[in-house]
């Protein structure tokens, strides 16, 4: 039995959900998101509560049950409050700044890195060493943050690079004479 799937998803105030076939559409103050569930689960909406039930006792139905419930919960969270990832730059001369729709990163390369921000995500650089990625789709927000981090992952000797806020970097000791 799925412990996550058993819990109904309560929609926050100002958020509405509708089901047509296997597609769930959630509307809120920040926008509209939809999710197409597999045929292994059935989704029902009663007022401001969305419930997900498996259609059988197969292993796949039980897997889809919890996953579909989490996807619907993410839709509700996304359209009401949104998702946010924060990145920190640490290293001498490492800087970030927004120029229109392009994030300009100085990461110790011979050239600046220009990162084109995709639609559906807002990227801000309040300080030169902090980047905030915000949006309503958790997958897109996480992917954009991972793509930015990919330019210079934190290294274990000095800790230089782009890391998530609050991330612990395992430090190694350098060579000894």
Q: What is the pLDDT of residues 26-62, one digit of tens each?
A: 999 998 999 998 888 899 998 889 999 998 888 998 8
Q: At 151, which CATH number?
A: 3.90.930.12
Domain boundary among 80, 100, 128: 80
CA distance 45 to 147: 36
| pLDDT over 80 at 1, yes or no | no
| Residues 129-157 as b or e (16 or more Cβ within 10 Å = b) | eebbbbbbbbebbeebbeebbeebebeee
* pLDDT surpassing 90 at residue 6: no
Compute the distance between CA of residue 116 and CA of residue 151 in angstroms, rounded to an integer: 13
Torsion over CA: 71, 76, 79, 81 (sign): negative
Nearest-angstrom CA–CA distance, 145 and 162:
10
Structural domain containing residue 12:
3-80
Residues 70 and 105 in one domain: no
Domain shared by 26 and 99, yes or no? no
Q: Residue 56's pLDDT is what?
A: 87
Average pLDDT, stretch 83-98?
92
Tell me the Cα Rg of the chain: 21
Do 88 and 159 reside in the same domain of the chain? yes
Same domain, yes or no, for 100 and 143?
Answer: yes
- Rounded CA-CA distance 48/84 in Å is 25
Same-domain pairing of 75 and 114: no
Q: What is the pTM of this model?
A: 0.86
């Amino acid at each position: 039995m799925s412990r996550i799937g058993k819990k109904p998803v309560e929609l926050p105030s100002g958020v509405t959900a509708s089901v047509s076939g296997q597609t769930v559409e959630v509307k809120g103050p920040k926008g509209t998101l939809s999710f197409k569930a597999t045929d292994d689960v059935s989704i029902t909406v009663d007022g401001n509560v969305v419930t997900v039930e498996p259609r059988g006792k197969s292993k796949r139905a039980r897997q889809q049950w919890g996953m579909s419930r989490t996807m619907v919960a993410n839709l509700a969270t996304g359209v009401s409050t949104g998702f946010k990832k924060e990145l920190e730059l640490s290293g001498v001369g490492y800087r970030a700044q927004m120029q229109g729709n392009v994030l300009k990163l100085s990461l110790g390369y011979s050239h600046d890195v220009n990162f084109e921000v995709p639609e559906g995500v807002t990227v801000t650089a309040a300080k030169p060493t902090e980047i905030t990625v915000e949006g309503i789709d958790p997958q897109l927000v996480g992917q954009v943050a991972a793509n930015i981090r990919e330019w210079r992952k934190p290294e274990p000797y000095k800790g230089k690079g782009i890391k998530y806020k609050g991330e612990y970097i395992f430090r190694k000791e350098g060579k000894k004479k």
